Amino acid sequence: MTVETNLPVDREYIRSFSAEKGEGQWLADLRLAALEKAEELPLPKADKTKITNWNFTQFPSHTVTSEPFSSLEELPEEVKTLINMEEANKTLYIQRNQTPAFLSISEELAGQGVIFTDIATAVREHSDLVQKYFMTSAVQPDEHKLTALHAALMNGGAFLYVPKNVEVKEPIQAVYLQDNSEAALFNHVLVVADDNSAVTYVENYVSTVAAESGVVNIVAEVVAGTNAKVVYGAVDNLASGTTTYVNRRGVTGRDARIEWALGMMNDGDTVSENVTNLIGDGSFADTKQVVVGRGSQSQNFTTKVVHFGKHTEGYILKHGVMKDAAKSIFNGIGKIEHGASKSNAEQESRVLMLSEKARGDANPILLIDEDDVTAGHAASVGRVDPLQLYYLMSRGISRHEAERLIIHGFLAPVVEKMPIEGVKQQLTRVIERKVR
């Protein structure tokens, strides 16, 4: 059976949706053009996973209004544990389904000219800045059906702008809470770090309700200017009925750095692309990703670093644990373009299988069009080592606890990288719950 490709919205709807949000003409036009593309463009290629009958387009409701939170005390427990409730002067955005539900920005940051706000407000109040970067340099609306659909239907997200020479010390946090099973989410995160700036942004996607056929489509764009540094942490933890497309992409200026720490903990079918385009000479990308698959979910993860600039370095490290009848494909791509001399592309993928029915595939790919470079890859798919189990058990530790230790240990290199303590602990708890 194939899902209807007819979209549940039309031009008229988009026009009025855009007008209601008070968006400039540029965005209304961009949306309408994208809607047309969405009708004709094919789905993205998710190598080795058949996604043609996944539901990315049919959802009960594109606009849902939720109550904002008047104080952090009102937050559901799942969200409270993520944030440092003690810290009064934090920079935090909470979105409830599609509604901006809480925002605080520290005085220091505001004073330095840092902009952090929900995407709709940003479009209204910082139209020029947003227009300059929104789906222009990292992700394009016309790449495939899902980027087009995203541009046409964007109904949530955040904008973060760090001006030149500003180094933000404290991590900036966003929580995207799904507590209405009707709500489809087309979330756009735009992070712009201007020259010589530094910032850490950490986001959580949390479902507190199970959707029957939820649709989430996320595009995150990171633009790192000359010598800028962006650390981007994420824990995706959407419910089993939700089909997710998530595309996180960065572009680097000269000597810029982007570091990703991604905890891919969705319980539903997921297509994830994480791409860093190393444009500027001397720029650097590091991607660390952990995945736990369970139940009968199917997931496809592409992690890619493309080297355009000279002396660029790209590192990919992925660790996945597959249990039950979960299926995952891990495509790791290091691509070095002609002219990107003295560059280095390294990647490592490790998959640990916990059951006979689970499937995990690690496909390391190096595409190199330049002689004067270095590159390497390592990949493995295996089971819990019986000798390691024996060793731990010989100290009195039960089989179950020994397995738990080995699995946590296997995922530790990425979990340890989470920039916010609360988020690191949450990721540990989610892993705990999922591998149990």
What CA–CA distance (Å, rounded) separates 174 from 198?
Answer: 17
Q: Does 392 bind other proteins (CB under 8 A)?
A: yes
Cβ atoms of 174 and 420 closer than 8 Å: no
Residue 109, classed as helix, strand or coil, is: helix
Nearer to other proteins, 47 or 401 (CB): 401
Q: Which of 405, 419, 425, 435 binds other proteins (CB under 8 A)?
A: 405
Which DSSP state fits 136?
A: T
- Closer residue to other proteins in complex, CB, 28/405: 405
CB of 27 to other proteins, least distance (A): 45
Q: Residue 421 interacts with other proteins (CB under 8 A)?
A: no
Helix, strand, coil tally for the chain in percent (to 5): 25, 40, 40
State which H helix or E strand residue 165 sits in. none
Tell me the chain's radius of gyration from C-alpha atoms: 21
Shortest gap between Cβ of 131 and other proteins (angstroms)? 45
Which CB atom, from 72 or from 381, has the smaller least distance to other proteins?
381
d(CA 420, CA 411): 17
Nearer to other proteins, 338 or 399 (CB): 399
Contacts of 234 (CB under 8 A, 6+ apart): 202, 203, 204, 205, 220, 248, 260, 261, 262, 263
Contact present, 208 and 78 (Cβ < 8 Å): yes
288 near other proteins (CB under 8 A): no
Name the residue nearer to other proteins (CB basis): 94 or 430.
430
Contact letters (x/-) for other proteins, 183-212, by CB under 8 A?
------------------------------
Q: Indicate the residue among 116 and 410 with the shorter CB distance to other proteins.
A: 410
The helix or strand, by DSSP H or E, that contains position 199, with its residue range, turns out to be strand 198-207
**Which DSSP string do the residues of 315-365 spell out, in sequence order?**
EEEEEEEE-TT-EEEEEEEEEE-TT-TT-EEEEEEEEEE-SSS-EEEEEEE
Q: Does 8 sit near other proteins (CB under 8 A)? A: no
Q: Which is nearer to other proteins, 125 or 401 (CB)?
A: 401
Is the CA virtual torsion 253, 417, 316, 326 positive or negative? negative
413 in contact with other proteins (CB under 8 A)? yes
Q: Is 435 in the site for other proteins (CB under 8 A)?
A: no
Q: How far is the CB of 373 from other proteins (least distance, A)?
A: 29
| Residue from 2, 128, 386, 436 in contact with other proteins (CB under 8 A) | 386
220 lies in the site for other proteins, by CB under 8 A: no
Q: How far apart are the first and last CA of the chain?
A: 34
CA angle 36–39–40, rounded 5-degree value: 95
Is residue 381 a contact point for other proteins (CB under 8 A)?
A: no
Q: Which of residues 78-117 bind other proteins (CB under 8 A)?
A: none
Range in contact with other proteins (rule: CB under 8 A) among 93-101, 226-234, 265-273, 395-403: 395-403
Rounded CA-CA distance 100/80 in Å is 17
Length of the chain, please? 436
* Closest separation in Å from C-beta 260 to other proteins: 19
Q: Is 398 in the site for other proteins (CB under 8 A)?
A: yes
Nearer Cβ to other proteins (30/290): 290
CB of 348 to other proteins, least distance (A): 13
By CB under 8 A, is residue 411 in contact with other proteins? yes
Residues touching other proteins, count (CB under 8 A): 24
What type of residue is 435?
A: V
Give the count of beta carbons closer than 10 Å to the beta carbon of residue 405.
14
Smaller CB distance to other proteins: residue 111 or 396?
Answer: 396
Question: What does residue 135 show for φ and ψ, rounded to 5 degrees?
Answer: 50, 45
Residues at the interface with other proteins (CB under 8 A): 385-388, 390-399, 401-402, 405-406, 408-413
